[in-house]
């Protein structure tokens, strides 16, 4: 009979070494007696060997999934965990499809225990409550007490080390302690529950818990299965739970009866931006008033740094509408869309597609030039989502006025403004998508992209794609 005594810390690695040695010597499972130091006494009397070094035997090959299950089961709080794990490994060497046989009692056992260990690890991740230690070091230090059902401390501690890498912490449990100092993880033996320290953050945590508790979504059974009562004794918020459950119904009634809350005072600061919307909302889109409204737009802060709003141009009614991103430096100064370098590329594409620019309603998704000033230069900055969304209101008015049969979106900003879909346009190029305003949208690249690519062949390809999109638009109306 082989007797193997494993240490209480590092037992999984020691078991692996021992198993490798036993397998190399072809010792069958029934001839091995496993024991972990600190488990039931007695084995030492028979002169058990503590296996700590890997044997130089042949490499043991096991399916990755089986290795994972064995790793879990070694942490399970059942006395036979080491012998069963060895038996399964022994069998897996001889039965290639063992893991696939769900009816095999060893495999069923393995899977049940793995689930229990995983659940325990999940609870440890969810219910460890750190309490700050008073210290003078450069790093903040925290301690937590937890009572796991299984021997999971060593396997679960790396999760906390990753998550709380910027602090020192210790998690004490009766089944081992984990200590992380300066990012280095160490383990020590289990201890009895220490006297609870006074925790000044506890009250904060309880207030937080009370506030996130949503009485309208209360499901007591689901809650108790997620947060079993056995964990309550170490959770500072636990004593609040019965009261919160008892008062939930009343609170839901009160919530239903309460008037809608008023906006916070800080919202008043946004009022100046909102005033023009109110005016515009009453407007039926006639071109003159639309242009005047756009010219005076202060709906978002972009108007503060731009010279002027650049409105759309073209006939009041147009079968084709073309939408760019926002005015550039030249456009901002001239007050006209697409009159700079990108405009020259666009003009060339109009020519190639035989689409007269003057017959198209040409506008931008955002009406003011967004930029940063660097020295004497004003550098283009891409408009953000909220600016696009604020300006979308004007775009809707323009579509309602021009009633285009098709809209060509030049680039990502226009595509997002028109469709509400912010996905990259590369995969959508040439696609016709429904717009938020009724007319279909043909997605294509922005002419400024042609100016940015260093490769002349690629620039040529982008040019012909843009012309092709405009040609498709002409042919579809
Ligand atoms: N880029 C645009 O998107 N619009 C313009 O008006 C000019 C450059």
Atom of ligand 1 lying closest to residue 337 CA: 6
Q: Which long-range contacts (CB under 8 A, 24 or more apart) does 254-260 make?
A: 255/215, 255/216
Rg (CA), the chain: 35
Q: Is the CB of 441 under 6 A from ligand 1?
A: no
Which residues does 51 contact at the CB level (< 8 Å), separation at least 6? Answer: 4, 6, 14, 17, 18, 21
pLDDT of 270 strictly over 80? no
Please give the Cα distance from 155 to 187 (Å, whole number). 11
If you average pLDDT over every residue of the chain, what do you get? 88
Task: Give the Å distance between the CA of 467 and the centre of ligand 1.
Answer: 17
Please state the rounded mean pLDDT for residues 36-44. Answer: 60
Q: Is the CB of 331 under 6 A from ligand 1?
A: yes
List, in order of start, the domains of the chain with CATH numbers. Answer: 2-123 (no CATH), 128-188 (no CATH), 207-254 (no CATH), 271-476 (3.40.470.10)
Atom of ligand 1 lying closest to residue 310 CA: 6
| Pairing mode, strands 371-374 and 377-380 | antiparallel
| Pairing mode, strands 141-145 and 440-444 | unpaired
Biggest CA–CA distance in the chain, Å, is 101
Confidence of residue 18 (pLDDT cuts 50, 70, 90): very high
Q: Is the CB of 338 under 6 A from ligand 1?
A: yes
Which residues does 259 contact at the CB level (< 8 Å), separation at least 6? Answer: none
Please state the rounded mean pLDDT for residues 47-57. Answer: 49
Please state the rounded mean pLDDT for residues 395-416. Answer: 95
pLDDT of residue 63: 85
Task: Give the Å distance between the CA of 262 and the centre of ligand 1.
Answer: 40
Q: How far is CA 141 from CA 12, 82, 164, 180, 205, in A?
A: 29, 36, 10, 9, 17
Comparison of pLDDT for 127 and 203, the residue scoring more: 127
**High-pLDDT (> 90) share of the chain, %:** 64
pLDDT of residue 52: 42
Backbone phi, psi, residue 113, to 5°:
-65, -40
Please state the rounded mean pLDDT for residues 259-280. Answer: 51
Atom of ligand 1 lying closest to residue 410 CA: 3
| Pairing mode, strands 406-410 and 320-324 | parallel
Q: Is the CB of 447 under 6 A from ligand 1?
A: no
Task: Give the Å distance between the CA of 359 and the centre of ligand 1.
Answer: 18
Q: Is the CB of 327 under 6 A from ligand 1?
A: yes
pLDDT of 417 strictly over 50? yes
pLDDT of residue 40: 55
Please give the Cα distance from 388 to 391 (Å, whole number). 5
pLDDT of 279 strictly over 70? no
Burial of 268 from C-beta contacts in 10 A (0-12 / 13-18 / 19+): exposed
Which residues does 132 contact at the CB level (< 8 Å), separation at least 6? Answer: 140, 141, 142, 199, 200, 201
pLDDT of 237 strictly over 50? yes
**For 360, which DSSP code?**
S
Task: Give the Å distance between the CA of 330 and the centre of ligand 1.
Answer: 9
Please state the rounded mean pLDDT for residues 366-374. Answer: 95
Task: Give the Å distance between the CA of 446 and the centre of ligand 1.
Answer: 9
pTM of the model: 0.52
Q: Which long-range contacts (CB under 8 A, 24 or more apart) does 431-435 make?
A: 432/406, 435/399, 435/407
Burial of 196 from C-beta contacts in 10 A (0-12 / 13-18 / 19+): exposed
pLDDT of 123 strictly over 50? yes
pLDDT of residue 274: 42
Tell me the residue length of the chain. Answer: 477
pLDDT of residue 307: 95
For tokens 């769900």, name the residue: 102
pLDDT of residue 422: 93
Q: How far is CA 289 from CA 284, 302, 397, 419, in A?
A: 9, 21, 11, 26
Instruction: Check: CB of residue 333 under 8 Å from CB of residue 287.
Output: no
Please give the Cα distance from 142 to 180 (Å, whole number). 10
For tokens 């309550």, name the residue: 232
What angle, 0 to 180 degrees and rounded to 10, lies between the N-to-C axes of helices 240-257 and 202-212?
40
Express each pLDDT in 66-115 by its tens digit. 999 999 999 999 989 999 999 999 999 888 888 888 899 999 999 999 99
pLDDT of 357 strictly over 80? yes
Instruction: Check: CB of residue 363 under 8 Å from CB of residue 395.
Output: yes
Mutate to test the pocket of ligand 1, among 306, 338, 345, 380 (most ligand atoms within 8 A of CB): 338
Residue 254 sits at the vertex; the CA angle it makes with 251 and 258, to the nearest 5 degrees, is: 140
Structure tokens at 239: 């004593």
Mutate to test the pocket of ligand 1, among 312, 328, 365, 383 (most ligand atoms within 8 A of CB): 328
Express each pLDDT in 433-452 by its tens digit. 999 998 999 999 999 999 99
pLDDT of 48 strictly over 90? no
pLDDT of residue 71: 95
Which residues does 355 contact at the CB level (< 8 Å), separation at least 6? Answer: 320, 470, 471, 473, 474
What are the residues facing 372 on neighbouring strands? Answer: 379
Helix (H), strand (E) counts: the chain? 17, 14
Q: Is the CB of 326 under 6 A from ligand 1?
A: yes
Confidence of residue 385 (pLDDT cuts 50, 70, 90): very high
Handedness of CA 294, 297, 302, 304 (dihedral sign): positive
Range with lowest mean pLDDT among 28-42, 150-164, 237-251, 379-393: 28-42
Q: Is the CB of 365 under 6 A from ligand 1?
A: no
Task: Give the Å distance between the CA of 285 and the centre of ligand 1.
Answer: 23
């Amino acid at each position: 009979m082989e007797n193997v005594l494993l240490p209480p810390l590092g037992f999984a690695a020691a078991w692996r070494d021992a198993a490798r040695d036993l397998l190399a010597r072809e010792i069958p499972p029934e001839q091995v007696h496993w024991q972990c130091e600190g488990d039931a006494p007695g084995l030492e009397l028979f002169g058990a060997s503590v296996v700590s070094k890997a044997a130089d035997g042949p490499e043991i090959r096991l399916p990755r999934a089986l290795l994972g299950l064995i790793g879990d089961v070694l942490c399970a709080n059942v006395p036979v965990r080491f012998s069963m794990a060895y038996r399964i490994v022994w069998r897996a060497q001889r039965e290639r499809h063992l893991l696939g046989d769900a009816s095999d009692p060893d495999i069923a056992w393995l899977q049940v225990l793995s689930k229990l260990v995983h659940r325990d690890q999940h609870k440890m991740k969810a219910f460890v409550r750190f309490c700050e230690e008073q210290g003078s070091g450069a790093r903040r230090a925290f301690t937590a007490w937890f009572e796991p059902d299984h021997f999971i401390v060593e396997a679960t501690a790396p999760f906390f080390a990753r998550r709380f890498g910027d602090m020192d912490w210790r998690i004490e449990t009766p089944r081992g302690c984990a200590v992380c100092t300066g990012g280095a993880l160490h383990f020590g033996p289990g201890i009895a529950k220490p006297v609870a320290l006074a925790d000044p953050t506890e009250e904060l945590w309880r207030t937080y818990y009370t506030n996130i508790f949503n009485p309208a979504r209360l499901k007591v059974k689901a809650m108790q299965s997620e947060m079993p009562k056995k964990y309550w004794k170490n959770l500072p918020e636990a004593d609040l739970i019965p009261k919160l459950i008892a008062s939930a119904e009343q609170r839901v009634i009160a919530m239903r009866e309460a008037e809608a809350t008023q906006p916070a005072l800080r919202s008043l600061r946004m009022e100046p931006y909102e005033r023009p919307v109110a005016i515009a909302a009453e407007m039926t889109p006639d071109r003159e008033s639309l242009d005047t409204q756009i010219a005076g737009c202060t709906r978002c802060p972009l108007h503060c740094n731009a010279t002027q709003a650049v409105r759309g141009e073209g006939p009041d009614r147009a079968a084709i509408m073309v939408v760019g991103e926002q005015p550039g430096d030249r456009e901002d100064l001239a007050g006209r869309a697409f009159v700079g370098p990108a405009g020259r590329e666009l003009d060339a594409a109009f020519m190639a597609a035989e689409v007269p620019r003057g017959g198209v309603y040409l506008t931008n998704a955002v009406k003011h030039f967004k930029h940063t000033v660097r020295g004497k230069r004003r550098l283009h900055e891409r408009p953000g989502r909220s600016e696009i969304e604020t300006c979308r209101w004007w775009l809707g008015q323009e579509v309602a006025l021009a009633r285009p049969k098709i809209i060509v979106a030049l680039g990502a900003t226009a595509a997002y403004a028109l469709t509400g879909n912010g996905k990259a346009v590369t995969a959508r190029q040439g696609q016709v998508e429904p717009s938020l305003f009724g007319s279909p949208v043909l997605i294509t690249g922005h002419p400024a992209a042609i100016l940015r690519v260093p490769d002349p062949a690629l620039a040529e390809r982008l040019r012909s794609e843009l012309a092709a999109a405009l040609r498709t638009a002409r042919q579809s109306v």
